[in-house]
Amino acid sequence: MTDSVDNPNADGGLRKADCLLLLPFVWQLGLAPWANGVSLRPLGLPFGMAWQMAGIVFATLVLALRYRIDRKGGARA
């Protein structure tokens, strides 16, 4: 069992930084209908494939930003 010293967010509520983790889901699910209708072929790839690869990079950047916010705030793993 962890106490409030180990877990700075012991109240169980979401912080603003936690909402960043929703962005990759919005990218993949919320914008998929738009991405499916695009006929552009960047680098000769179907747009859906390029969209998925860009989503991986985007999700990685979001996770890195969230990690930096946690470290700056003093949270320890």
Domain that holds residue 29: 16-36+43-73
In a domain, 69, yes or no: yes
In a domain, 67, yes or no: yes
In a domain, 66, yes or no: yes
The model's pTM is: 0.70
In a domain, 29, yes or no: yes
In a domain, 59, yes or no: yes
Would residue 40 be called left, alpha or beta, if left means φ above 0 and alpha means ψ between -120 and 50 degrees? beta
In a domain, 57, yes or no: yes
At residue 55, the pLDDT reads 94
DSSP string, 44-55: GS-HHHHHHHHH
Number of domains composing the chain: 1
Kindly state the tokens that stand for 52: 């998925």
Q: Is 77 helix (H, G, I), strand (E, B) or coil?
A: coil
Q: Is 72 helix (H, G, I), strand (E, B) or coil?
A: helix
Side-chain half-sphere exposure of 32, counting CA atoms within 13 A: 7
Share of the chain above pLDDT 90, in %: 40
